[in-house]
């Protein structure tokens, strides 16, 4: 009963964790100082409304923090319906940037504390909106500090946020006019100096110029590799397009009109990578009225700045009416990856096709042809092998007949019988009896003669021994020295016979290894020694994973002896800072070839490499520490509770479709490749 309760509790916990991972907390840190006033209307329309309408999903939470001399919490709203989004947008109109100060370092520290108070299982996204000017009040601990101290404080806070897996974006507004601003290295970033009559003066200096010098942190944020930054004065995009461009979201699209389709068909997809790094996507679900219509998980990799065409299998619900349908489908990717847009709208003419050929379609015909060709090739190979085997057997039989002798001697209890000497005439019973009597008389005469010779030769035992061995066993005896006496020679012969007998007897004995000291030291291993045991301390499953850079990797788990015919069960994508469990039961990467409990380890990805954290080290008998760094393509031994041993290995998943496409493109001339590659 207790075991059942534990299993139910673990199942509920896994379902709860899975549901929490689908949501995200979007935190906006907005500079509310008066230097932002000229651009506040643009920020409201392009950024804030764009985030609410094109980035946030249902069940996400939106948080708005503003800062001047101090940070403030303005909005914290769970998004459950469109009305919640409208409330947030209406709240934006009440904001007005009138602050005299811009204390960014304390605001960044407050943001970190606020994020730590949120649900630990949701994804965290921090969007910083500011012109980058640092102007703390005199009451701040950072007022008048050295630039190196200010830079270190900002970098420490950013490293802590990124180490917790927080995605950081920076939207930069233009620097204020008539203000002299420099970065933390002392280099001017908003005005230029030129020499005139031995003095340095500012170019473009007006009467409204402020002689006070301010530091700016925008350069540090823009040069940080872990932060995606964009300029507010980008005139190429507005609202949703601006957010997609600023956040470098993958762009998805499909044909507006798909034509005539059955309830099961392949949906064409075009995925554009707008970033400067390769992306690896895992499409988990396509929702139509909250029902998943995607047949199976799809893995998609796109190179930087490229567009990839693919297709996924769709199974529409049978309750849809035939005829023209306008469908609105939402796309959900693993690790909560946002796309632009997050849903697609397409039209199709839905028809229930009963014909088998119509259901197959063009792709079905191609697969059927390939299947038939494979069957024909297999049959041809089988026929060729059978014919060659029959020919070889026939040739061998003929050769054996040629080499077989015409007369074969057969063995019997009376010795070897030559068929040519056996009479073919039939004998009567009297003739057979007479023949047997003659044979017995002959044998008795030979026996008497042998006994007489034995009595006669007893005076010479050495000669008798030689004659007996030569006549009966036909064995070659050792040479005898005539100078020795007969007694010595007889003794020598007897000793040699005993040595031969001893050697024959010893050759049939099994030689056992000798042990020095205590012979009881040789023992079989106990049953207890075969069970998993380890002195390594277990890794902490709750520790934060430091993120070295953004990125996503698709991993495949291979278990020695375990079948791979389980679809995509052991193929999953990991983004930077993510982790996946390994083991039996409800683990993400499943081991069922041997019996091990759930969550014996977890695979971690920091954006550059993968590491294996041993949560239950006793199941890893060869491990030296609880963290196996850079574990890809490395066989790792595991052991079950009953002593069964196997090995596991993680490797980066490679799509067979991509390999085939690269192989086909390699034989196409360079001038013709543009027809098949869409940039």
Q: Where are the domains of the chain?
A: 15-246, 251-357, 535-657
Q: Which two tokens stand for residue 512?
A: 């056992």
Q: What is the pLDDT of residue 633?
A: 93
In the prediction, which pLDDT does 556 show? 93
Average pLDDT of the segment spanning 156-179: 89
Summarize pLDDT for 136-148 with one digit per residue, the tens.
999 999 998 898 9
d(CA 673, CA 666): 9
- Binned at pLDDT 50, 70 and 90, residue 207 comes out as very low
Cα angle, residue 318 at apex, residues 316 and 319 outer, rounded to 5°: 110
HSE-up of residue 430 (Cα within 13 Å, Cβ side): 0
pLDDT at 209 over 50: no
The whole-number pLDDT of residue 338 equals: 83
Asked if the peptide bond before residue 341 counts as cis, ω within 30 degrees of 0, the response is yes
Predicted local confidence at residue 111, as pLDDT: 94
- In angstroms, the CA 565 to CA 558 distance is 11
Between 3.40.50.970, 3.40.50.2300, 2.60.200.20, 2.40.30.10, what CATH number should domain 535-657 receive? 2.60.200.20
Q: Which of 67-71, 273-277, 480-484, 555-559 has the lowest mean pLDDT?
A: 480-484
What separation in angstroms does the CA of 420 have from each of 363, 424, 431?
A: 76, 9, 21
Q: Is the per-residue pLDDT at 617 higher than 90? A: yes
pLDDT of 323 strictly over 60 = yes
**Residue 136: closest CA among 147, 123, 128:** 147
Q: Is the pLDDT of residue 109 over 90?
A: yes
Q: How far apart are CA 447 and CA 462, in angstroms?
A: 22
pLDDT in tens, 219-244: 889 898 889 888 887 654 444 577 77
Mean pLDDT value across the chain: 78
Percent of the chain past pLDDT 70, that is, above it, reads: 71
Tokens 């008389």 sit at which residue? 441
CA dihedral (125, 126, 131, 137) in degrees, to 10, reads: 170
Structure letter (DSSP) for residue 470: I
Task: Write the class of the CATH domain 251-357.
Answer: mainly beta
Checking if the pLDDT of 175 tops 90, the result is no
pLDDT for res 519:
39
Taking CA atoms, 581 is separated from 20, 138, 591, in Å, by 16, 50, 11
pLDDT for 214: 83
Specify which of 41-45, 182-186, 284-288, 439-443 reaches the highest per-range mean pLDDT.
Answer: 284-288
pLDDT cut 90: percent of the chain above it: 32
Listed ranges 405-414, 507-516, 606-615; the one with the highest mean pLDDT: 606-615
One-character DSSP codes across 39-51: GHHHIIIIIIHHH
pLDDT above 50: residue 585: yes
- The top-scoring range by mean pLDDT among 340-349, 359-368, 417-426, 467-476 is 340-349
Q: Give the total residue count for the chain.
A: 679
From the options 3.40.50.410, 1.10.10.10, 3.40.50.300, 3.30.420.40, give the CATH code of 15-246. 3.40.50.410
Rounded to 5°, the CA angle 352-353-356 comes to 150
| pLDDT at site 8 | 40
């Amino acid at each position: 009963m207790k075991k059942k309760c534990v299993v139910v509790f673990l199942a509920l916990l896994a379902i709860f964790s899975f549901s929490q991972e689908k949501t995200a907390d979007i935190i906006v840190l907005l500079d509310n100082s008066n230097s932002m006033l000229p651009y506040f209307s643009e920020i409201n329309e392009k950024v804030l409304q764009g985030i609410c309408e094109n980035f946030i999903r249902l069940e996400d939470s939106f948080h708005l923090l503003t800062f001047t001399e101090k940070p403030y919490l303005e909005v914290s709203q769970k998004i459950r319906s469109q009305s919640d989004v409208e409330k947030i947008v209406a709240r934006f109109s009440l904001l007005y940037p009138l602050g005299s100060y811009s204390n960014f370092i304390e605001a960044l520290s407050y943001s970190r504390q606020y994020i730590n108070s949120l649900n630990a299982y949701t994804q965290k996204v921090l969007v910083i909106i500011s012109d980058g000017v640092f102007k703390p009040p005199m009451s701040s601990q950072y007022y008048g500090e050295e630039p190196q101290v200010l830079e270190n404080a900002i970098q420490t806070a950013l490293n802590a946020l990124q180490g917790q897996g927080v995605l950081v974006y920076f939207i930069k507004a233009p620097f204020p006019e008539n203000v002299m601003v420099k970065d933390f290295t002392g280099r001017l970033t908003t005005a230029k100096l030129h020499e005139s009559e031995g003095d340095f003066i500012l170019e473009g200096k007006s009467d409204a110029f402020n002689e006070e010098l301010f530091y700016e942190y925008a350069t540090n944020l823009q040069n940080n590799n872990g932060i995606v930054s964009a300029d507010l004065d980008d005139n190429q995009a507005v609202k949703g397009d601006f957010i997609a461009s600023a956040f470098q979201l993958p762009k998805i699209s499909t044909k507006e009109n798909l034509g005539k389709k059955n309830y099961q068909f392949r949906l064409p997809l075009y995925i554009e990578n707008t970033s400067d790094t390769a992306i690896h996507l895992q499409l988990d679900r396509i929702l139509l009225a909250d029902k998943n219509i995607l047949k199976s998980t799809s893995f998609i990799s796109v190179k930087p700045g490229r567009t990839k065409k693919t297709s996924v299998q769709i199974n529409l619900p049978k309750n849809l009416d035939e005829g023209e349908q306008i469908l609105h489908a939402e796309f959900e990717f693993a690790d909560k990856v946002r796309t632009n847009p997050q849903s697609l709208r397409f039209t199709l003419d839905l028809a229930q096709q009963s014909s088998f050929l119509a259901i197959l379609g063009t792709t079905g015909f191609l697969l059927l042809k390939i299947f038939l060709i494979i069957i024909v090739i297999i049959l041809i190979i089988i026929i060729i092998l059978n014919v060659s085997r029959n020919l070889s057997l026939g040739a061998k039989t003929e050769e054996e007949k040629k080499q077989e002798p015409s007369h074969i001697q057969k063995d019997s209890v009376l010795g070897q019988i030559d068929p040519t000497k056996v009479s073919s005439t039939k004998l009567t019973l009297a003739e057979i009896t007479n023949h047997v009597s003659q044979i017995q008389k002959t044998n008795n005469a030979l026996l008497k003669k042998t006994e007489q010779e034995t009595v006669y030769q007893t005076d010479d035992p050495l000669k008798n021994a030689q004659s007996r061995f030569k006549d009966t066993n036909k064995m070659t005896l050792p040479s005898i020295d005539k100078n020795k006496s007969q007694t010595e020679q007889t003794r020598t012969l007897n000793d040699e016979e005993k040595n031969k007998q001893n050697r024959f007897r010893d050759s049939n004995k099994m030689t056992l290894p000798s042990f020095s000291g205590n012979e009881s030291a040789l023992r079989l291993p106990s049953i207890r020694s075969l069970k998993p045991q380890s002195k390594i301390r277990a890794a902490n499953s709750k520790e934060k994973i430091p993120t070295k850079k953004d990125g996503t990797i698709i991993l495949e788990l291979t278990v020695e002896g375990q079948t791979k015919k389980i679809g995509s069960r052991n193929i999953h994508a990991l983004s930077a800072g993510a982790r996946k469990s390994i083991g039996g039961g409800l683990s993400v990467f499943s081991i069922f070839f041997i019996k091990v409990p759930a969550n014996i380890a977890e695979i971690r990805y920091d954006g550059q490499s993968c590491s294996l954290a041993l949560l239950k080290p006793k199941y890893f008998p060869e491990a030296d520490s609880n963290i196996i760094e850079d574990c890809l393509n490395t066989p790792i031994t595991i052991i079950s509770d009953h002593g069964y041993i196997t090995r596991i290995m993680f490797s980066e998943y490679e799509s067979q479709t991509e390999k085939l496409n690269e192989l086909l493109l390699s034989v196409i001339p360079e001038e013709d490749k543009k027809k098949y590659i869409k940039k």
